[in-house]
A and B are shown apart, each in its own frame.
Chain A
Amino acid sequence: MTVNNDAASTSQSGELKYLVYTSVATRKMLPDDLESILFTSRRRNLDAGITGLLLYRGNVFIQFLEGPALEVDALMDRISCDDRHSRVRVLVVERVAERSFGDWKMGFAIPKDTRPTGIEGLRDSFTDLTGGADYDVVRQAAEDFSVWFKAGQRAVPS
């Protein structure tokens, strides 16, 4: 799954916006709901040159978006008005030179809940991302999920 040529050229020009937000689903998302969201977003994102990743854990969405700034901003405006989302919080906004999810119009995964390990000091990426920690901690937690998603993709037999 690759992005279109416009998106690729945007990537090369170095004018990409990388944004991570969380939101709380206003109702329990059923598989059909998630499929509908993904179907719509993948079709729109292809045209807009947006790539990224959507995670759903519990009733919380975590979405990574990357693409032309205007397109990302327009998408965020739509998400903010979408009645399936509440408490939309933009956590990370950066200008980046290249895509992290260039192979994905919109990846999707459902992380399992974390479990206590008994190891003192071991952090919880979900808590760090959603718990109002400072920017560096939130950014690192977002990166943790990105690593997790990509590791999972590598593990899938081709």
Chain B
Amino acid sequence: MALADFFWHSQVALDCCAVIVASARFRRCGRAINCGEHPGRGYLRNAGVRARGRRVHAMSEKVARSQVVDEGPRAVRWSQVEEAFYVGNYRGNFVGYIDRGPDGAFRLFDSMSTLRGEASTLEESMACLDALFFATSGDRGRQ
């Protein structure tokens, strides 16, 4: 991973984590925000996920079903295991999991199964864990 690339991903991860913290604060106040409303690189990252999602939508249903959410070279494969529980992996490496609580909030756990925060949408949750994974993955991210 190039040094500049590492710093970019680190910044994305920090942006996302900041949004998660902010989101939690806002939720306590009865308001909700997500990465998509947050200016900066976190916003761009999330927008990228959505843009790629639209490209997937244009494919046939059979092909689309076999795609991962992020089609880029760092494509994380996200799966729903049961209602409200999602697991991510990147080429066999565990990225983390997302557990939606009874209150509707998505709780994010990293590759060490450590709780890293909450998000208000599943897409935001996946984008944040993706960014966190690649910011901290070292050699795994080079593949």
Would A120 and B53 count as touching, CB distance under 8 A?
Answer: yes
* Given known contacts A151-B99, A154-B113, A123 and B89 CB-to-CB distance under 8 angstroms: no
A113–B83 CB distance below 8 A: yes
Q: Provide the bound-state CA to CA distance between A79 and B131, in Å.
A: 44
CB-based contact B122/A117 at 8 Å: yes
In the assembled complex, the Cα of A113 lies from the Cα of B81 at a distance in Å of 8
Does any Cβ of A come within 8 Å of B68's Cβ?
yes
CB B109 to nearest CB in A, in angstroms, measures 7
* Contact A121 B64, beta carbon cutoff 8 Å: yes
Which residue of chain A has the shortest Cβ distance to B123 in the bound complex?
A119
> CB distance B87 to A144 under 8 Å?
yes
A interface residue count range (under 10 / 10 to 19 / 20 to 34 / 35 or more): 20 to 34
Whether B83 contacts A115 by the Cβ 8 Å rule is yes
Kindly state whether residue B69 has any CB partner on chain A within 8 Å.
yes
Q: Which positions 33-56 of chain B face chain A at CB distance < 8 Å?
A: 53, 56
Interface residues of B (CB under 8 A from A): 53, 56-57, 64-65, 67-69, 71, 77-87, 89, 92, 94, 97, 99, 109, 113, 122-123, 126
- State the 5 A-B residue pairs at the shortest beta-carbon distance, nearest first: A111-B82, A123-B79, A121-B67, A148-B81, A120-B56
